[in-house]
């Protein structure tokens, strides 16, 4: 039986757009007749966008899995965790800037026993984290590592650990909607 590899990476279009944006920002530093602080801001923005694009280019594929192991690629190469060292795969949902967001969380242990929490978003994966979690769970199950902390319900965001987190997010949302202070005035601070 073959051992197919499944990979995820930032979309090529986003990486190319980042490189083009970085070149444009750096060119604007020299061509856009700005004062010193304006040039500095454009230069820093260009360097940041360029660094993110180079990371997206260098760390391809960002995540790769087989029935034997999971690999996460970074700037300096890939780190590999065999499935017995992957303790949990789950999707965490939260609100960022008022918008719902989902992230893939992977709990893994290094050879020396050090625990790692890998958190990957949609941009890094180039796919919906819920779909990626389901695929990881399928590989994990074929490796014989399904079970507590790694059920298909966890991958889809319906595991016991995620139920508590989802209830907490729903409670915060209800509290935000029921805010009695429509003006957004800050409340007095009780600290001494």
pLDDT in tens, 57-94: 888 888 999 888 899 998 888 899 998 999 999 999 98
Supply angle C-alpha 7, 12, 14, rounded to 5.
Answer: 120
What is residue 69's DSSP assignment? Answer: E
Check pLDDT > 90 for residue 165.
Answer: no
Q: Average pLDDT, stretch 179-185?
A: 43
Q: Where residue 172 falls among pLDDT bands split at 50, 70, 90?
A: low
Residue 74 phi, psi dihedral angles, 5° rounding: -130, -165
Helix H or strand E segment including 7: strand 6-8
Q: Which of 84, 52, 79 is nearest to 68 (CA)?
A: 84
Crossing angle of the two packed helices 36-58 and 12-31, in degrees rounded to 10 = 160
Between 166 and 131, residue with greater pLDDT: 131
Check pLDDT > 50 for residue 177.
Answer: no
Q: Where residue 175 falls among pLDDT bands split at 50, 70, 90?
A: low
Check pLDDT > 70 for residue 2.
Answer: no
Q: Compute, in degrees rounded to 10, the torsion defined by CA atoms 138, 144, 150, 156.
A: 20
Starting at the edge strand found earlier in the chain, the sheet holding 69-74 runs: 6-8, 63-65, 69-74, 77-82
Q: Which of 6, 24, 11, 4 is nearest to 124 (CA)?
A: 11
- What was the pLDDT predicted at 131? 92
Residues 98-143 pLDDT 10s:
888 899 999 999 888 889 999 998 988 989 999 999 989 888 888 7
Average pLDDT over the chain, rounded to an integer: 78
Which token pair is 118? 């890998």
> What ranges make up the beta strands (E) of 27-169?
63-65, 69-74, 77-82, 86-96, 99-109, 115-120
């Amino acid at each position: 039986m073959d051992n197919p590899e499944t990979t995820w990476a930032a979309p090529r279009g986003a990486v190319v757009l980042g490189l083009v944006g970085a070149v444009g920002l750096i060119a604007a530093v020299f061509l856009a007749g700005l004062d010193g602080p304006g040039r500095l801001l454009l230069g820093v923005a260009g360097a940041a966008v360029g660094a993110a694009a180079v990371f997206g280019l260098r760390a391809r594929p960002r995540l790769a899995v087989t029935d034997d192991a999971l690999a996460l690629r970074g700037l300096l190469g890939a780190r590999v965790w065999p499935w017995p060292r992957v303790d949990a795969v789950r999707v965490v949902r939260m609100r960022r800037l008022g918008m719902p967001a989902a992230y893939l969380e992977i709990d893994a242990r290094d050879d020396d026993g050090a625990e790692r929490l890998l958190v990957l978003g949609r941009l890094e994966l180039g796919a919906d984290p819920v779909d990626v979690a389901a695929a990881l769970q399928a590989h994990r199950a074929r490796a014989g590592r399904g079970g507590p902390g790694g059920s298909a319900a966890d991958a889809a965001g319906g595991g016991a650990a995620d139920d508590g987190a989802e209830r907490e997010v729903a409670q915060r949302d209800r509290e935000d909607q029921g805010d009695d202070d429509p003006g957004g005035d800050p409340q007095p601070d009780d600290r001494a």
